[in-house]
Amino acid sequence: MTKAVKREILHHLNFLKSIGCDYHEQIEFYNNELNSNNLPNSLDELKTLVNNCYLCELSKSRKNVLFGEGNKNASLMFISDEPTATEDELKSHFVGKNGEQLAKMIENVLPLKKEDIYITSLVKCKSKDGMNASHFSSCSSYLYKEIELVNPKLVVALGEKVYSYLSADKTPFNQVRGKIINFKSFVVLPTFSVSYLLRNPSLKREAFHDMLKIKSILESN
């Protein structure tokens, strides 16, 4: 039995356990990808499932699983790339300087607070050397289901890595940043990541214009 098959079986058994079953049914395999149609239609149940996920090697490097947080009925969702070591330690998105910068970006332009927004990440566990395509492949169905359940009016992709993995679009980031892009059943606006802005403060003016566009979208009918 291959490692991939073992991971699929473990995932399926964890899912059945999370919904109260103590037996397993016939298992279907999807080339290492979860079938989102079989994922729970509840954020709380999805969180329980993700908390018990061991589909990829990131489960070995994490201290905590970092599921999305914030307003479950938010009209705005922010997606970062992966949890940092500090976020993994504190089990919360955007802590420290990153959190302060994000709060300023939101509260200085939008009629919202950080708590009014739903915040999540491409993968739910921190990595040792940076996430890769294999990690995202294991986790992507969780993310797409998360977006489906929150059903925001706008998804903001924070950074080039987030946008490229989320959409599989190879267009250079400087050509899509700040643009409105339709992907699957949701609307995406790519902008700079918070950590990138902290390293490159001269770009904050461009990020401010992106936030104004986000405000305009949220206020439109």
Query: Would you state the structure tokens that stand for residue 83, as one six-digit string?
Result: 């949890």
Over residues 85-108, mean pLDDT: 90
Mean pLDDT of all residues in 24-53: 69
pTM over 0.85: no
113: Cβ contacts below 8 Å, ≥ 6 apart: 103, 106, 107
- Are 50 and 121 contacting, i.e. CB atoms less than 8 angstroms apart? no
CA distances to 53, 85, 210 from 106, in Å? 32, 24, 11
CA quadruple 181, 183, 185, 190: dihedral sign: negative
Q: What is the largest CA-CA distance in the chain?
A: 57
Burial of residue 216 (number of CB atoms within 10 Å: 0-12, 13-18, 19+): exposed
Show Cβ contacts of residue 134 under 8 Å, excluding neighbours closer than 6 positions. 56
> CA 93 to CA 99: how far, in whole Å?
8
Residue 183 — pLDDT band, cuts 50, 70, 90? confident
For the residues 105-132, what does the mean pLDDT come to? 91
* pLDDT above 90: residue 161: yes
Judge whether 117 and 77 are in contact, CB under 8 Å.
yes
Domains of the chain: 64-219 (3.40.470.10)
Where is pLDDT greater, at 29 or 114?
A: 114
